[in-house]
């Protein structure tokens, strides 16, 4: 086999490679049964169960428990497709040689992370569509029509996905192996769903101390943000603070974006062994 | 004259790898100590040594995957510790144990990695050269061990590299797969690609490499063509023959003269053999010295 000697061609741009990585990441994610079943479909499965078991209406508001679960579960769902997916995915990439291989090629690190961003963005949008579909079909959820609510949806979604992806990448370093990664990511995720008003509605039914703990983490604020998008304003009385607290939501999630980035930079490793 | 200029003048564009005094210490253990290595452009060079001898550390320093504690290294004219993307695009690295891309097909994987490089080879040609054409549409997780290794090679060569690092490429191969693999490597070398191979199979080094270096306890203990390594060519030969008194063996530095003397007058020597130490004998001797 002859090596063709040609004039040095320019290296492909990091952006183009990032998009190519994104395509490959999506293929791998949706072809992997474990991801599709446990990470992607689990929130919808839980929503079907919870919404069917608790189907009372909230007082005379006309809002059913199923609708509240749907709004909260949209938040929990994108935490799965960002935090859990990254936490497991990067640990697997580190263990199966993906990162080592990439490091030996002219693909820059930024393209790898761009690919992960594409994966998280696409799978999170798909997750939202799936959960809203379940809510509309089974629990008569109707989508908001006001532009303002969709603006709220957009910034909550973007801040949620960025902060949780960064935290997922950071926690993958803690996982050390792909076997322990699902436990290391799912335990905080599951615990936070219980104390953040995702599984237990309304959030005021929870002990105040638990919600105080949950308030330090993103899940509570993400779910609360989506409740403010998909539930009528009369439901605000069911919130701990009696208000949607948009300012606080933006503040906490932005702080986690910054903290997540710092943790990533401090903990990211290309391989399991130390050099 | 600056250091960089001095390098360039000694390199003269002829050596793919030039390393002087490489050292790497983990805690208190010298993994690699004072390693000198020169690999000329276009040659197949094998680094031999037992497990834990420092082969992988040496190679990883040259690949730019590991920092060195001391010494100088130039790979394709650049310092591997500092070189960038353009340099990486001229290298091919074949990993020792990778299980990545399990859910992709063989063709998808090779086509994707080809996109990283400015001048990739044709994907179909690469699959053909690696004997993977029939497996192009199969998921990577369904490949056998030997097919998986050939895919790793395909991913290492698809970027059209000038220099390929092969780390223990045929571990776990059956004899036929190894022969096929050797042909693939020889064809690459014939096309002008430089190959640095690490292996602990001596027959592999002997079949493929123009020169070998033996590394033991982090140090190079011998270097040269396999046929002359460790004084192999000049070592005493063993002449064996059988006559009416039974089997005889005699060690001699001049086997021709001995045979001439024994067969004087046209006498036929039954079961005549002349043997020299095998590469394995020499190798075991070399690493044994250091145990």
Chain A residues touching B27 at Cβ < 8 A: none
Chain A residues touching B150 at Cβ < 8 A: none
Burial grade of A236 (CB within 10 A; 0-12, 13-18, 19 or more):
middle
pLDDT tens digits for A235-252? 988 888 888 999 999 999
The residue among B50, B279, B80, B76 whose CA lies nearest residue B168 is B50
Interface touch B118/A105, C-beta < 8 Å: no
Interface touch B63/A104, C-beta < 8 Å: yes
Cα of B202 to nearest chain A Cα, Å = 25
Edge to edge, what strands does the sheet with B44-48 contain? B91-94, B163-167, B194-199, B44-48, B211-216, B219-224
Residue A30's closest chain B neighbor by CA? B103
A232 neighbors A61 (Cβ within 8 angstroms)? yes
Interface touch B159/A8, C-beta < 8 Å: no
Residue B57's closest chain A neighbor by CA? A275
Residue A29's closest chain B neighbor by CA? B103
Residue A4's closest chain B neighbor by CA? B160
The residue among A176, A82, A35 whose CA lies nearest residue B103 is A35
- The reply to whether A7 falls in a domain is no
Interface touch B86/A11, C-beta < 8 Å: yes
Which residues in B59-169 belong to E strands, given as ranges?
A: 70-75, 91-94, 163-167
Cα of A36 to nearest chain B Cα, Å = 13
pLDDT by residue for chain B (291 residues), tens only, comes to 334 433 433 444 579 999 999 999 888 888 898 999 999 999 999 999 888 888 889 999 999 988 899 999 999 999 998 888 999 999 999 987 778 888 899 999 999 999 999 999 999 999 988 889 999 999 999 998 888 888 998 999 999 999 999 988 877 777 887 888 888 889 889 988 999 999 878 888 889 999 999 998 888 988 899 888 877 777 778 888 888 888 888 888 888 888 888 888 788 888 898 888 888 888 888 887 544
Residue A20's closest chain B neighbor by CA? B112
**Annotated domain spans of chain B:** 236-275
Residues from A contacting B (CB-CB < 8 Å) are 1-6, 8-12, 16-17, 20, 24, 27-28, 31-32, 93, 96-98, 100-101, 103-108, 275
Cα of A197 to nearest chain B Cα, Å = 36
Burial grade of A221 (CB within 10 A; 0-12, 13-18, 19 or more):
buried
Cα of B289 to nearest chain A Cα, Å = 29
Interface touch B88/A104, C-beta < 8 Å: yes
- The reply to whether A272 falls in a domain is no
Interface touch B108/A93, C-beta < 8 Å: no
Could you list the residue range(s) of the whole structural domain that residue A96 is in? Answer: 14-267
The pLDDT of residue A270 is 72
pLDDT by residue for chain A (275 residues), tens only, comes to 555 555 567 899 999 999 999 999 999 999 988 888 888 999 999 999 999 988 788 777 788 999 999 999 999 999 999 999 999 999 999 888 889 889 899 998 889 988 998 999 999 999 999 999 999 999 999 999 999 999 999 999 999 999 999 999 999 888 878 888 989 999 999 999 999 989 988 888 899 999 999 999 999 999 999 999 999 988 988 888 888 999 999 999 999 999 999 998 888 877 665 44
Chain B residues touching A104 at Cβ < 8 A: 63, 65, 88, 91, 93, 95
Burial grade of A199 (CB within 10 A; 0-12, 13-18, 19 or more):
middle
Tokens 């353009």 belong to B86
Give the H or E element holding residue B148: helix B145-157
Q: Select from B41, B85, B121 the residue whose CB has the most chain A CBs within 10 Å, as the one to mutate to test that interface.
A: B85
Chain B residues touching A275 at Cβ < 8 A: 60, 65-67
Cα of A269 to nearest chain B Cα, Å = 12
- The reply to whether A203 falls in a domain is yes
Strands B211-216 and B194-199: unpaired
Among A20, A100, A108, the residue with its CB nearest the CB of B85 is: A108
- The reply to whether A155 falls in a domain is yes
Among B63, B155, B160, the residue with its CB nearest the CB of A3 is: B160
Among A1, A24, A98, the residue with its CB nearest the CB of B188 is: A1
Among B67, B160, B191, the residue with its CB nearest the CB of A275 is: B67
Interface touch A97/B99, C-beta < 8 Å: yes
Interface touch A8/B86, C-beta < 8 Å: yes
Interface touch B100/A96, C-beta < 8 Å: yes
Interface touch B85/A32, C-beta < 8 Å: no
Among A28, A106, A275, the residue with its CB nearest the CB of B85 is: A106
Chains A, B: CB contacts within 8 A come to 104
Interface touch B116/A2, C-beta < 8 Å: no
Cα of B279 to nearest chain A Cα, Å = 29
Q: Give ipTM to 2 decimals.
A: 0.82
Which residues in chain B belong to E strands, given as ranges?
A: 15-26, 29-40, 44-48, 70-75, 91-94, 163-167, 194-199, 211-216, 219-224, 237-243, 246-252, 270-275
Q: What CA–CA distance (Å, rounded) separates B109 from B111? A: 6
- The reply to whether A52 falls in a domain is yes
């Amino acid at each position: 086999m002859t090596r063709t000697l040609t004039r040095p061609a320019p290296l492909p741009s990091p952006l183009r490679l990032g998009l190519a990585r994104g395509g490959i990441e999506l293929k791998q994610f949706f072809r992997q049964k474990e991801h599709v079943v446990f990470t992607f479909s689990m929130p919808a499965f839980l929503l079907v169960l919870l919404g069917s078991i608790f189907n009372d209406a909230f007082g005379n508001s006309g809002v059913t428990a199923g609708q509240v679960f749907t709004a909260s579960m949209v938040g929990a769902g994108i935490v799965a497709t960002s935090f859990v997916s990254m936490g497991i995915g990067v640990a697997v990439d580190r263990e199966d040689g993906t990162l080592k291989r990439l490091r030996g090629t002219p693909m820059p690190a930024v393209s790898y992370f761009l690919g992960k961003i594409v994966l998280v963005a696409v799978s999170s949008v798909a997750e939202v569509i799936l959960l809203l579909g379940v809510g509309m079909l089974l629990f008569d959820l109707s989508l908001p029509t006001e532009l303002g609510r969709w603006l709220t949806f957009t910034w909550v979604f973007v801040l949620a996905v960025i902060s949780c992806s960064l935290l997922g990448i950071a926690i993958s370093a803690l996982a050390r192996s792909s076997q322990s990664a699902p436990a290391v990511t799912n335990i905080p995720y599951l615990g936070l769903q219980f104390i953040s008003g995702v599984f237990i509605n309304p959030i005021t039914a929870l002990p105040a101390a638990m919600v105080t703990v949950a308030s330090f983490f993103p899940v509570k604020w993400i779910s609360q943000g989506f409740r403010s998008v998909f539930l009528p304003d009369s439901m605000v009385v069911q919130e701990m603070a009696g208000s949607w607290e948009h300012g606080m939501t933006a503040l906490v999630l932005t702080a986690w974006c910054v903290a997540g980035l710092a943790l990533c930079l401090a903990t990211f490793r290309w391989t399991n062994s130390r050099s | 004259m600056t250091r960089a200029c001095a390098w360039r003048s000694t390199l003269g564009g002829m050596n793919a790898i030039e390393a002087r005094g490489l050292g790497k210490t983990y805690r208190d253990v010298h993994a690699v100590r004072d390693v000198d290595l020169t690999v000329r452009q276009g040659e197949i060079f094998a680094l031999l040594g037992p497990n834990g001898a420092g082969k992988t550390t040496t190679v990883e320093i040259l690949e730019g995957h590991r920092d060195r504690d001391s010494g100088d290294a130039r790979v394709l004219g650049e310092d591997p510790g500092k070189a960038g993307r353009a340099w990486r695009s001229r290298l091919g690295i074949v990993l020792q144990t990778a299980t990545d891309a399990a859910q992709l097909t063989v063709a998808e994987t090779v086509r994707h990695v080809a996109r990283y490089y400015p001048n990739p080879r044709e994907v179909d040609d690469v699959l053909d050269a690696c004997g993977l054409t029939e497996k192009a549409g199969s998921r990577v997780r369904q490949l056998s061990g030997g097919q998986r290794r050939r895919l790793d090679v395909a991913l290492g060569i698809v970027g059209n590299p000038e220099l390929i690092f092969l780390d223990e490429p045929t571990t776990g191969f059956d004899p036929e797969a190894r022969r096929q693999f050797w042909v693939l490597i020889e064809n690459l070398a014939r096309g002008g690609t430089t190959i640095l191979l690490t292996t602990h199979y001596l027959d592999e080094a002997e079949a493929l490499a123009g020169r070998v270096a033996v590394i033991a306890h982090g140090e190079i203990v011998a270097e040269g063509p396999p046929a002359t390594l460790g004084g192999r060519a000049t070592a005493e030969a063993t002449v064996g023959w059988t006559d009416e008194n039974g089997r005889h063996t005699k060690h001699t530095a001049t086997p021709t003269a001995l045979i001439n003397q024994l067969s004087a007058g046209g006498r036929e020597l039954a079961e005549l053999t002349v043997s020299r130490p095998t590469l394995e004998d020499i190798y075991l001797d070399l690493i044994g010295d250091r145990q």
